[in-house]
Structure 1
Amino acid sequence: MSVTPPHVAIVGGGIAGLATAFSLQERAAEAGIPLACTLIESDRAWGGKIVTHRVGDALIEAGPDSFLSQKPWALQLCAKLGLSDRLMNTNESHKKTYVFSRGRLRELPEGLVVVAPAKLGSLLRSGLLSWPGVARMGMDLVLPARRADGDESLASFFRRRVGREVFERVIEPLMAGIYAGDAEQISLKATFPRFLEMEREHGSLIRGMLAGRKTDPPSGLNAAPVRTMFVTLRDGLGEMVRALVARLSEARVTMRPEHRVMALRVRSTRPGTWTYDLLMEGGQVVSADAVVLATPAYVTADLVRSLSPTAAGTLETIPYASTATISLMYGADEVGSSLRGFGFVVPRVEGRALLAATWTSSKWAHRAPPSHALIRAYVGGVGHEAILKTDDETMVRHVREELRSMAGITAMPSSVRVHRWERGMPQYTLGHLDRLEVIQGSLSPYRGLYLTGAAYRGIGIPDCIRDGSDTAEAVVRSVMARGARTD
């Protein structure tokens, strides 16, 4: 009689699926249990939204171009992959960020963390806010905290605390750059619960921000390298994907790109224990003791529908925003001083098609030759879908006109790359956490079935890595409780 090690199938080869598979190997080794793993991806390439292109001497990111260093999970993964010496900070000599407001680019004051600028004078001189707007922001110091415990939108919360002008001219464009969503609908509890905690603990966002600064450790006391708020890898985020794929292949994880799962079936071998059958597009069946679905919520909905119509229906209510990135290459002399900074964001109240633009070659080293300048424009999102209905040529024309009127760039780009992300950004709208409870509760009878990815507990790369690691830990506990199969 032979003993077959437990088999785990992971569906979805984006960063969440890759991180889950990587952590699964770690956790299984720590627990001393043999484990077979299959990673399945419908696309030919791994990495999901992480797509790095080398075009001549330029490096173009079609999806995210960096990750937040204040959340440690991506940095920790890079260390495990041997990539720490490949990490790259932003170019601090070009640190300025701008907001296009009232007809021109206005510098976002240094040290501004949503509502607590390090220097109030710089905020006043920027022209971003009127004197009444600044005075209304100061009312945050005396306004009482909200007593109700229900969910609240980002827009409602920030208007209530710091006023309409600060929200519309500063906070909304920064939030749109993260979520590509409508702040009137985005859940505060699901996205920025720390602001809610600040209000409850300090009675004021400004006091909460200032208290946080006082508790930050002094520089020089930590031996770890100093990281800027956002970091990337020297050859782009694709380095992380390639390193993960290499490690998983070395660990003998079965890698199946260009394989689509059409359905998920379950059968019980003994009470409370399930075997999962993944029905593939070509008719094959992959059987597993545990399954991790690291797919978009709307794909996951189709896969779990036969198990729980309630979970499927709730998954389908998680909305997604569509976006596009447009990378434009210019001669450095054609843009002149326009690129002295990281880029700019555009408030919704300006009524523009452009959400944001990054001066890529100014923000990061090694992204374009010294003789060239690389700009990445960001369009689409909730309420800005019209431009996405145009063809690439029309979209680029709109973007060039926006760059001309906002940043004074009149030159013709020498090359352009357009990348569209249809339903690429999950939206954590009001009631998101309640929906997660319904989904989890509806699928709880199926031990060994797990959901992970950007649709649930954080959209950023570090969040997806953390969630994948947590999922892997839960999987190992589950298969240990189940035990190996005997054939």
Structure 2
Amino acid sequence: MELLDTLIVGAGISGLSLAHALHKEATSPSPLKILVAESQGRVGGNITTVTGEGFLWEEGPNSFSPTPELMKLAVDVGLKQELIFADRKLPRFVYWQKKLQPVPMTPPAMIQSQLLSFPGKLRALFGALGFVGPAMGDRLSQQGDEETVSQFFRRHLGTEVMQRLVEPFVSGVYAGDPQQLSAAAAFGRVAKMADVGGGLVAGALLSAKNRPKKMPADPNVPKTRPGELGSFKQGLKALPEAIAAELGDRVKLNWHLTRLDRTERETYIAVFSTPDGQQEVEARTVVLTTPAYVTADLLQPLQPQVSSALQAFTYPTVACVVLAYPHSDVNGKLVGFGNLIPRGQGIRTLGTIWTSSLFADRTPAGWHTLTSFIGGATDSEIGNLDSEQIVREVHRDLSRILLKPDVPQPKVLAVNVWKRAIPQYNLGHFDRLQQIDEGLKSLPGVYLCSNYVGGVALGDCVRRGFDRAREVGEYLQNKQSDTRSI
């Protein structure tokens, strides 16, 4: 049995980013021996790009913020000419009191916005300037002095900002419940600003002042501007597929990990169910990029403490519904990123991306494509509905927000029900991560690299993959040095 340097379990964007970094940056005399094992018949994990009848759509992530790591990765794997970016000036909307209200993105827009009342704007201004009461109360004590997203933003910016801006954002990013999500975990940068400066404005200024100087920009990486959203001409799947092509036969599909054992010489034996029967792999290091609930089962025999912490992560059900309508069915022109819906507005759908407005040439002439998300932590019942029922719910909501009266049923492109969609960064998040880190000390060479740690966006996944690759590389170098010194 050949001894691998690194076994990576899972060929989502985290695992592939990590494998790319190890493959490219290996400093040992010979290239690292890497294997990426994926249980599905394709790479990409939650990235799900589909085409049909002249349409191109996404059923998982829809776009990415162009972080430096993600952009460099795209260029490194030959996708520079495939990059596309949506107009950063496209407005975002919130559906409030039966109207689509543009989200204010600048201070002047905030002043003019009809989304917030004058008292609500005044409350937000004073809070942002630091006129904020301390976090206190019996409930906070019961939570270990950890504020929820709802508590934090109500205290700092007031109820209106919380209900009309933060809550729909939470629904759109996490499909989460702001009364359960940890402010420090889900909005870490904002929470740190408040801690540093005593108020959000002062904290933002101090954070900007103390921010490390940026490294010189790589001339090969296209420049982007704040607020831009990116994708590729053939959809997001282009990135994982390009990385997999670079790695070649180091990527194995339909390999399902059934058991992980530790050997006496501090290596690991992984047993896989594959199309060719049972396969065993031995590796010096193992990186599990699988969801928390899968990782928990794999590590239960080896480290019950870590397994217990992983089992505490919750993943609500979310349905992605992609519908197409003729232009004649839609009220006015759809120019914008899309709309989010706060809870309490009589609308079940969490939000809708105006796909045909965001990226051109993905929809046949005369059609609009709308990608809606429904379910989440505040609507667990969505998992009990079948596809037809879910389409009816979404179509009814769209009829109230975007469509003309009595339009016929849409063209249904997709209904993808993610039974366990997005890990929730709920109260106790950092305690769980600390428990995991402590437990992993007894399993040297085992690393976790998934979106329940350090952010759920694609850019977060790529950055995390690069960071773990450095840790794995350092571990292997140290082990090699220890062996030579014996």
Q: Indicate which of 450, 453, 460 corresponds to 1:453.
A: 450
**1:347 aligns to what?**
342
Match of 1:121 in 2: 111
Corresponding residue for residue 13 of structure 1: 11
Alignment-derived partner of residue 92 in structure 2: 97
Q: Deviations over 1:381-423 (max 9, x none)?
A: 0011223311101110111100001223434323331111111
For 1:182-331, what aligned pairs fall within 5 Å after superposition? 182-209=177-204, 224-227=222-225, 228-249=227-248, 252-253=249-250, 255-269=251-265, 274-281=266-273, 282-331=277-326
Q: Distance in 1 between matches of 2:175 and 2:292?
A: 17
Unmatched tracts of structure 2, length 5 or more: 137-143
Deviation readout 1:430-486 (Å, 9 max, x if unpaired): 121121111111111211111101111211111111111111111122222223999
Mapped partners of 1:79, 1:212: distance in 2: 30
What residue identity is the alignment partner of 2:449?
Answer: T
The answer for the alignment partner of 2:429 in structure 1 is: 432
Secondary structure at 1:89 match in 2 = strand
Alpha-carbon distance change, 343 to 34 in structure 1, aligned in 2, over 3 angstroms: closer
Kept in 2: contact 1:344–1:358 (CA 8 A): yes
Say if 2:402 is the partner of 1:407: yes
- The letter for the 2-side match of 1:192 is F
Contact 1:67 1:230 survives alignment (8 Å): yes
Check the 8 A contact 1:338/1:408 in 2, yes or no.
Answer: no
Task: Tell me the secondary structure at the aligned position of residue 279 of structure 1.
Answer: strand
Letter of the structure 2 residue corresponding to residue 119 of structure 1: A
Contact 2:287 2:449 in 1 (8 A): yes
Distance in 2 between residues matched to 1:11 and 1:277, nearest whole Å? 13
| Counterparts of residues 353-392 of structure 1 (less than 5 Å) | 353-392=348-387
- 1:136 maps to 123
Alignment match, 2:64: 67
Alpha-carbon deviation of 1:151?
2.7
Preserved contact between residue 353 and residue 387 of structure 1 (Cα < 8 Å):
no
Aligned identity (percent) is 32
Partner residue in 1 for 2:140: none
Matched-pair contact (CA < 8 Å) for 1:90–1:231: yes
- 8 Å CA contact 2:111–2:121 kept in 1: the answer is no
Question: Structure 1 414/137 Cα, relative in aligned 2: closer, same or farther at 3 Å?
Answer: same
Matched, 1:39 2:36: yes
- Aligned to 1:83, which of 72, 79, 84? 79
Alpha-carbon shift at residue 166 of structure 1 (Å): 1.2
What's the CA shift string for 1:65-94, capped at 9, x where partnerless?
11112x32211211211212222111357x
Deviation of residue 332 (structure 1)?
2.3
Aligned with 2:419: secondary structure? strand
Specify the code of the residue in structure 1 equivalent to 2:402: A
Q: Over residues 247-286 of structure 1, what are the superposed CA-to-partner deviations in whole Å (9 max), with x where a residue is unaligned?
A: 111xx52x211111111111112xxxx1211122343322
Looking at structure 2, the residues matched to 53 and 147 of structure 1 have their Cα atoms a distance apart, in angstroms, of 47
Q: Is the 8 A contact 2:323 2:371 kept in 1?
A: yes
Residue 24 of structure 2 corresponds to which residue in structure 1?
A: 26
TM-score, L = length of structure 2: 0.89
- Root-mean-square deviation over aligned CA pairs: 2.5
Q: Is 196-205 or 285-294 further displaced after alignment?
A: 196-205
Distance 1:92 1:449, change over 3 A: closer
Deviation at 1:48, TM superposition (A): 0.5
Q: TM-score, normalised by structure 1?
A: 0.89
Matches of 1:212 and 1:475, distance apart in 2: 31
Q: Is the 8 A contact 2:133 2:155 kept in 1?
A: no
